[in-house]
Amino acid sequence: MKRMLTARNVFVAGLLILLVLVPLYAIVTDNLFPLTLYTRIVILALAATSLNLILGYGGMVSFGHAAYIGIGGYAVGILAHEGIYSGFLQWPLALFVSAVTALAIGSLSLRTRGVYFIMITLAFAQMLYYVAVSLDRYGADDGMTIYQRSEFDGIINLSNKISFYYLCFGLLLATIYLTWRIVNSRFGMVIQGSRSNDRRMRAIGFPTYRYRLVVFMIAGTICGLSGALLANQTDFISPAVMYWTRSGDLIVMVVLGGMGTPFGPVIGAVALLLLEEWLSGVTEYWQIILGPMLLLVVLFARGGIEGLLAGASRG
Amino acid sequence: MLLLVEQSLNGVQFGLLLFLIAAGLTLVFGIMDLVNLAHGSFYMLGAFFAATFAALTGSFLLGALLGLLATLVVGMALDLIAIRKLYGRDHLDHVLGTFGLILFFNEAVRLIWGAGGMNLPLPHWLNASVTILPGIQYPAYRIAVIVVALLVALFLYLLVMRTRVGMLIRAGASNREMVGALGINIKLLYTFVFGLGAALAGLGGLMQAPILTAQIGMGENILILAFVVIIIGGIGSIRGAFIASMLVGLLDTVGRAFLPDFFKLILSSAAASTAGPAVSSMLIYLLMATVLVVRPEGLFPAASK
């Protein structure tokens, strides 16, 4: 029987409780900044969780995942710009366009492997970035302000910071549950099998290309949702959210937290964004510290924070 | 006609510049199996070093030469300090580790040279126009860039195909362990190749610096174009990189120059002014997608892998 009270499980449970309590802290201290910061963390954790599905479980190193954040955000932003505020239209459109884009990118890039795959997903994402930059009507380089958040009449008011936070948090938990269900299903087993040995999976009769394409689409769709959330949180959308370094940030979150584990991306997102927040308070040139730290994580802490915790609970 | 000649030459020049970046990238990948995102940082460093040395010495050529040397030294030092430990790891580790290095280099440049960027002024003898065809003037500097890049391409060809070091490089690309087992100091070879790649990128950067200024992050956009080039050309193939970079350079430059006008012929002017820039910035990616559909391994796949 598995032990429940391992260091890792306690840590994850503590982190989740902390995340639940953030709005309470904001109310008590009458300081809304932590709430804004943590809403952003939760939204990016959602994006990282979707990347984990293909990167951690599927072994597909997509270096263009931030493109879907941009697509989801622009779906909300463009509709709002044209005077359509209903979330019932905006969000499904965000998901739909993300899914179609992921299908198109995936069907081309999954024909390749390894380093080709990394570079191709990067190149396609950068192409979408340039498309966003050329959208003169929608702010081009500078992006555009979204003057009204998505409307879900009678269900939830997104302008209320606390209910928006809990919406994001709920969606994050739902996504983690979904990921867990997917990877433990027969479908997910095929994906994981294809990560370990794709040739063998095909030899025993699985058309792995189709399986991988479907999971690639699911991941892109969920990431599009996080884009819709992010646009609502910042009331703003610009090409910068889909710049390729953002895709890099997402990979860092997944690997830093521990890839191929359900809560790893959440841990990674919290750790990376808090670290950034802290370092940027210490020095203006904080990336000069963060960069080498990433290199050190790669060299010495391969399993990420999850891996360290799992090691601690074994020892 | 005049514009077409001029834009084609610009395309050739841009293509050759891309080749300098892509050649280093593809060499490093072909031999060390290393994905180096920080390759664009050398492009940036080359530009900044050259601008600094040119300002110090007062000579453009001396500044360029010293800048090139400095980039070579930084490249080899980086290999000794950090990159060496990444060989043999999987590609995800390379991506993350070198992503960290990009952050480091960008911030280091901002710390040392400030956020404003630097100019590298041209000497008088390069800052002129020459008549290349009756009635067509073209900047002397751009011609100089084309000549230098072609010479470097020739040098690379001779180095890889006609020298002992080149033989080792080719042998290392097809079977690393065997070359090591035959008593070749493979680590030294790797450091040399990495430094060579860095110097090539640095040369590209310092040659671009007088046209655009030296700026933080200048290496990243060109890095992604270089990725597109080596995907089209086939990873690990220098010949493929050369042909693909010419294709990409020409298509991008000529597309940007003529596609918006072409759209104006077939679309309303409002639609054309939106579609023109969007589609011309997508052209090279469409080329990449097409190549992938037809030949997933690129036009000239390296034979061994």
CB atoms B103 and A291 under 8 Å: yes
Q: Which range has highest mean pLDDT (A15-19, A285-289, B290-294)?
A: A15-19
Give residue-wise pLDDT tens across range B59-86: 999 999 999 999 999 999 999 999 988 9
Give residue-wise pLDDT tens across range A114-143: 888 998 899 899 899 988 988 888 888 888
What pLDDT sits at residue A61?
Answer: 93
The whole-angstrom separation of Cα B51 and Cα B63 is 7
User: Residue B119 belongs to what domain range?
Assistant: 10-216
| The pair of three-digit structure tokens given for residue A72, joined into one six-digit string | 């989801």
Q: Is the pLDDT of residue B299 over 60?
A: yes
B301 inside 8 A of chain A by CB: no
- Minimum-distance CB partner of A294 among B29, B97, B105: B97
Q: Is residue B225 part of a domain?
A: no
Q: What angle do CA A293, B40, B51 make, to 5 degrees?
A: 105
| The pair of three-digit structure tokens given for residue B134, joined into one six-digit string | 């009756």
What pLDDT sits at residue A6?
Answer: 81
- pTM of this structure: 0.90
- Minimum-distance CB partner of B108 among A251, A288, A293: A288
Q: Is residue B300 part of a domain?
A: no
Q: What percent of chain B is predicted at pLDDT more than 70?
A: 99
| The pair of three-digit structure tokens given for residue A164, joined into one six-digit string | 């928006």
Q: How far is the CA of A206 from the CAs of A3, A190, A197, A203, B217, in angstroms?
A: 35, 8, 12, 7, 44
Residue A179, CB half-sphere, CA atoms under 13 Å: how many?
Answer: 32
- Spell out a b/e string for B104-128, using b for 16 or more CB atoms within 10 Å of the CB, else e: bbbbbbbeebeeebbebebeeebee
Q: Is the pLDDT of residue A17 over 60?
A: yes
Q: How many domains does chain B have?
A: 1
Q: Is the pLDDT of residue B265 over 70?
A: yes
B221 pLDDT band, cuts 50/70/90, is confident
What pLDDT sits at residue A33?
Answer: 87
Q: How far apart are the first and last CA of chain B?
A: 44
What pLDDT sits at residue A2?
Answer: 59
Q: Is residue B299 part of a domain?
A: no
Q: Which residues does chain A have within 8 Å of residue B231's beta carbon, measured at their own beta carbons?
A: 116, 119-120, 123
What pLDDT sits at residue B163?
Answer: 92
Q: Which residues does chain B have within 8 Å of residue A131's beta carbon, measured at their own beta carbons?
A: 278, 281-282
Q: Which amino acid belongs to residue A6?
A: T
Q: Is residue B170 part of a domain?
A: yes
Give residue-wise pLDDT tens across range B160-194: 889 998 888 888 877 878 888 888 888 888 899 99
Q: How far is A105 from chain B (nearest CA, A)?
A: 9
The whole-angstrom separation of Cα B145 and Cα B141 is 6
Q: Is residue B281 part of a domain?
A: no
B290 inside 8 A of chain A by CB: no
Q: Is the pLDDT of residue B305 over 50?
A: no
Q: Which residues does chain A have within 8 Å of residue B289's beta carbon, measured at their own beta carbons?
A: 108, 124
Is residue A49 a contact partner of residue A175, using CB atoms and an 8 Å limit? yes
Give residue-wise pLDDT tens across range B141-156: 999 999 999 999 999 9
Is residue A44 a contact partner of residue A226, using CB atoms and an 8 Å limit? yes
| Residue B214, SS3 per DSSP | strand
> Domain segments of chain A: what residues?
31-243
What pLDDT sits at residue B77?
Answer: 95
What pLDDT sits at residue B303?
Answer: 55
Q: Is the pLDDT of residue A1 over 60?
A: no
B220 inside 8 A of chain A by CB: yes
Q: Which residues does chain B have within 8 Å of residue A123's beta carbon, measured at their own beta carbons?
A: 224, 227-228, 231, 285, 288
Q: Which residues does chain A have within 8 Å of residue B220's beta carbon, measured at their own beta carbons?
A: 244-245
B294 inside 8 A of chain A by CB: no
ipTM (interface predicted TM):
0.88
What is the DSSP annotation of chain A?
A: ---S--HHHHHHHHHHHHHHHHHHHHHHHT--HHHHHHHHHHHHHHHHHHHHIIIIIT----S-THHHHHHHHHHHHHHHHTT--BHHHHHHHHHHHHHHHHHHHHHHHTTS-HHHHHHHHHHHHHHHHHHHHT-GGGTGGG-EE--SPPBBTTTB-TTSHHHHHHHHHHHHHHHHHHHHHHHTSHHHHHHHHHHHHHHHHHHTT--HHHHHHHHHHHHHHHHHHHHHHHHHHHTEE-GGGGSHHHHHHHHHHHHHH-TTSSSHHHHHHHHHHHHHHHHHHH-TTTHHHHHHHHHHHHHH-TTHHHHHHHHHHH-
Q: Name which of A75-79, A285-289, B192-196, B269-273 the model is least confident about.
A: B269-273
Give residue-wise pLDDT tens across range A261-313: 999 999 999 999 999 999 988 888 888 999 999 899 888 887 788 888 877 66
- Minimum-distance CB partner of B100 among A127, A136, A291: A291
Q: Which residues does chain B have within 8 Å of residue A297's beta carbon, measured at their own beta carbons?
A: 96
- Mean pLDDT (chain A) is 91
Residue of A nearest to B225 (CA): A123
CB atoms B95 and A118 under 8 Å: yes
Give residue-wise pLDDT tens across range A153-177: 888 888 889 999 999 999 999 999 9
Q: Is residue B45 part of a domain?
A: yes
Residue of B nearest to A111 (CA): B296
The whole-angstrom separation of Cα A129 and Cα A127 is 5
B275 pLDDT band, cuts 50/70/90, is confident
What pLDDT sits at residue A315?
Answer: 44
The whole-angstrom separation of Cα B31 and Cα B92 is 18
What pLDDT sits at residue B94?
Answer: 92
- Minimum-distance CB partner of A251 among B85, B96, B281: B96
Q: Is residue B36 part of a domain?
A: yes
For residues A79 and A9, the model is more confident at A79
CB atoms B273 and A136 under 8 Å: yes
Q: Which residues does chain A have within 8 Å of residue B110's beta carbon, measured at their own beta carbons?
A: 285
